[in-house]
Amino acid sequence: MTGARAEQGRSALERMLEARSVAVIGASAREGTPGHQTLVELRKGRFDGAVFPVNPKYDELEGHRCYGSIGDVPEAVDLAVIALSNALLEETLTACADAGVASAVIYASGHEEPGDGEPLTERLTKIAHDAGMAICGGNCMGFVNVERGLRATGWYEPEALEPGPIAFISHSGSAYAALLHNDRSLRFNIAVSAGQEFVTTATDYMRYALSLESTRAIGLFIETVRDPIGFREAMAVANEHDVPVIALKVGREELTRRLVASHSGALAGEDGAYEALFRADNVHRVETLDELGDALALFVAGRRAGPGALASVHDSGGERAMLVDAAAAVGVPLAEISDETSKRLEGLLDPGLPPVNPVDFWGTGREAFAVITGCERALLDDPNVAALAFTVDITTEDDPEEGYIASFLDVWADTDKPMAMMSNFASGIDRSDAQRLNDVGATVLEGTLTGLAAFRHLFDHRDHRALPPVMAPSPVAASTRNEWARRMASGEPFDEVEAFELLRTYGVSAVASVRADGADAAASAAEALGYPVALKTAMPGISHKSDVGGVRLGVVDRQSLIDSYAELSGRLGRRVTVAAMAPPGVEIHLGIVRDAQFGPLVLVAAGGVLVEVLKDRRLALPPLDGVRARRLVDELRVRPLLDGVRGQPPADVDALVNAIVGLSWLAHDLGDRLEALDVNPVMCGPEGCVAVDALVLPRR
């Protein structure tokens, strides 16, 4: 038995990340090469396992006997680090498999010029799969298991890497290296440069990290998720154990996939599935490495937010105003403090300083320590305060015993609410002063926007964990679901009347509508519905009626209808739909999009003809309950319109929420049979919400 199956009780992944023996293939005495630096890093990490340099040019390297080939190594090796060019990879990995090597790190990219056969990357993957090997890479910088002193990397890393509670998994080698070189006391148990993931994926590394007792947070820098089902399973474990996952997902722009069959698809874009996935599974998405660092720092402190919002104390009125603006931009709520708290603050602050949140405590300097700590305690005692930011520039202190850090730590030790020292200017931070905080487990946040975003992630984490699971069954009977499934299996597009019938099945109201195939039939339908009516082309193959001038609204009488029919049918064809006019309201777009990896997605957006221009949308994985559906609505930029503006009455938001829940069950039950579904617009007014137009495209 060879490869990963040779050692009972330890998987190939464990034998890689917890290797007891390492072969360095392409080991070298030449400084600056990965083959040399890998040996150096193994020594620097104080790796206590067996090291086998492999290179026929040498007899000895770094105090270790050198072997001519991996087949000459006298034992089955846990991990081979392959520091060779692309041209030698296939031969070398085959030799590793034959020698029973359990895993490998491949630095090279696996690129070769296109030919007639399988690409090199696929051949390497097959070799590894057939042998049961785990592979880190290709095109990676390896990994470090700091807890075990194992550095399987060919580039310089800091001499003293101390173990810590963060697991970091990155598709970017540069991001992996940057975080390992951080000077802000972010410490890792493992850090992995996963590269192209020939075999072993970020999800596999997440599973391993979640098996470690030391893991208190996981950071991701990812381009894609190659194992969607496994990722969701790993996130379930992370949420069960309250291990926050913070992800910097790149590749947001729509570069490779153009979903032009529906407005919903165009709105979802390349990134919509990740928005929905992260929302469903409590993944905290960040925009920059600095935000990633601040979020990790706040989460690993271990304190979780209770009810309420953020309070902040300052030594500057100007910087306090800056924080208020930044909090609005980032979306972190500031606490409304009680009258009792305001009175406590008033008794502490100098005259003229308002007793409000955020607090500017800067005054005459009289009993400064007592004033600052008193303000902190007053805010933290307020039930509306979930967390506190001590927001000052962490410059060098001239009085460490009575300064800001001492006043922060004096309060920090007496509360279990989250607290952080937050600097407005990272370049001004005195690292020795910051270290005083880190040494006792307190948090330092290094920017106004990134620090506030970290608090927002902390609150989002709290709110997501408070959500109950979606337990309700489908609102539609199995026999009815099966009938619609058979209809969709035909692959034929739905006309609007049938689309409305499908929506009503799932509790989404729609305007009354009638098919017509001639002027007299259209006029009869209009009279039955009652004027005014809408007249729309219903010719097969026209997905977006407005785009071809195929809609006439507010047709008021028989002659107007006949004239409109003549014009439409002359350009587009005889078949039309006659529909009742919906009452006025706010236009909202609802939709279902099928993603190749994650399946059907539910979309809620600003509606109407500008739907793709505004791009005001939210996506979610189905099914949804009322709480989750309402959150989608509340996050839209057009949300204030639903409350009524300029004398308009408020819309029935509950009706909109119910429609979204119903549509989510349609996506859950039948989404795999849909290419796309558009409901645009849904008119939301005081009397409810009603679908005015719908497009249903079965999956062919």
Contact 378, 335 (CB under 8 A): no
pLDDT of 387: 98
Q: For the chain of 700 residues, list the mean pLDDT of each consecutive stretch of 10.
A: 55 98 98 97 96 97 96 96 97 98 97 88 97 97 97 95 97 97 95 97 98 98 94 97 97 48 56 92 97 98 97 96 97 98 97 96 88 97 98 87 92 97 93 92 96 98 95 92 95 91 97 94 94 91 81 93 92 91 93 91 85 81 97 94 88 97 97 92 95 91
Instruction: State whether residue 70 is helix, strand or coil.
Output: helix
How many CB atoms are located within 10 Å of the residue 533 CB?
31
Whether residue 532 has a cis bond before it, omega within 30° of 0: yes
In a shared domain, residues 455 and 314: yes
Is 635 a member of any domain?
A: yes
Say if 21 falls within a structural domain.
Answer: yes
The SS3 assignment for 267 reads helix
Query: Which regions of 57-141 does DSSP assign to beta strands (E)?
Result: 60-61, 64-65, 79-82, 103-106, 134-137
- Examine residue 389 and state whether it is found in any structural domain, yes or no: yes
Residue 274 lies in a domain: no
Domain of 521, CATH number, reads 3.30.1490.20
In 3D space, the residue among 337, 402, 413 whose CA is nearest the CA of residue 375 turns out to be 337
Predicted pLDDT of residue 540: 84
H or E element at residue 671: none
Pairing of strands 385-391, 309-314: parallel
Q: 412 φ, ψ to 5°?
A: -55, -35
Q: Answer yes or no: do 112 and 228 share one domain.
A: yes
Q: Which segments of 241-271 does DSSP mark as H helices, in order?
A: 263-268
Partners of 88 in beta bridges: none
| Tally of domains within the chain | 4
Q: How far apart are CA 301 and CA 197, in angstroms?
A: 31
Cis check for the bond before 138: say yes or no (omega within 30 of 0): yes
Q: Are residues 593 and 577 in the same domain?
A: no
Separation CA 495–CA 460 (nearest Å): 41
Identify the residue whose tokens are 């708290």: 341
Question: Is the pTM here over 0.75, yes or no?
Answer: yes
The 3-state secondary structure of 554-572, one letter per residue: EECCHHHHHHHHHHHHHHH
Same domain, 12 and 25: yes
Domain boundary among 243, 276, 294: 243
Q: What gap in Å lies between CA 385 and CA 333, rounded to an integer?
A: 10
CB neighbourhood size of 578 (10 A): 27
Whether residue 112 lies inside any domain: the answer is: yes
Token readout for 178 is 């940057």
Picking from 228, 243, 258, the residue at the C-terminal end of a domain is: 243
Asked, for residue 374, whether it belongs to a domain, the answer is yes
Spatial neighbors of 37 by CB under 8 A, at least 6 apart, are 31, 153, 154, 155, 156
Does 590 share its domain with 571? no
What CA–CA distance (Å, rounded) separates 225 from 270? 13
Domain shared by 20 and 95, yes or no: yes
* Cβ 578 vs Cβ 529: under 8 Å: yes
Range of the domain at 229: 3-243
CB-based contacts of 320, cutoff 8 Å, min separation 6: 312, 314, 358, 359, 360, 391
> What pLDDT is stored for residue 1 in this prediction?
30
User: Which two three-digit tokens encode residue 288?
Assistant: 């920059």
**For residues 186-209, b (16+ Cβ closer than 10 Å) or e, as one string?**
bbbbbbbbbbbbbbbbbbbbbbbb
Confirm if 319 and 358 have CB atoms less than 8 A apart.
no
The type of residue at 426 is A
Specify the DSSP element, H or E, that contains 216.
none
Whether 495 is in a domain gets the answer no
What is the reported pLDDT for 659? 98
Query: Which class for 680: exposed (0-12), middle (13-18), buried (19 or more C-beta within 10 A)?
Result: buried
Could you tell me which residues come within 8 angstroms of residue 57 by beta carbon, excluding any fewer than 6 positions away?
Answer: none
At which of 581, 600, 625 does a domain end?
581
**H helix or E strand, kind and range, residue 303:** none
Q: Find out whether 271 and 158 touch, Cβ atoms under 8 Å.
A: no
CATH number at residue 177: 3.40.50.720
570 and 592 both lie in a single domain: no
Instruction: Return all residues near 174 (Cβ < 8 A) that are at least 6 apart.
Output: none
Q: Which long-range contacts (CB under 8 A, 24 or more apart) does 227-232 make?
A: 227/201, 227/203, 228/277, 228/597, 228/598, 230/201, 230/203, 230/204, 231/202, 231/203, 231/206, 231/277, 231/281, 232/277, 232/281
End-to-end CA distance of the chain: 46
Same domain assignment for residues 364 and 414: yes
Question: In the structure encoding, which two tokens stand for residue 422, read together?
Answer: 């937050």
Do residue 312 and residue 434 come from a single domain? yes
Exposed, middle or buried: residue 119 (CB in 10 Å: 0-12, 13-18, 19+)? middle
Shared domain check, 148 and 119: yes
Say which residue the tokens 């820098």 belong to: 221
Per-residue confidence (pLDDT) for residue 263, from 0 to 100: 53
One domain for residues 648 and 527: no
Same structural domain, 90 and 233:
yes
> Looking at residue 265, what is its pLDDT?
54
Q: Answer for the pair 657, 590: CB distance below 8 angstroms, yes or no.
A: no
321 — alpha (psi -120 to 50), left (phi > 0) or beta?
Answer: alpha
CATH number of the structural domain spanning residue 692: 3.30.470.20
Is 123 within a domain? yes
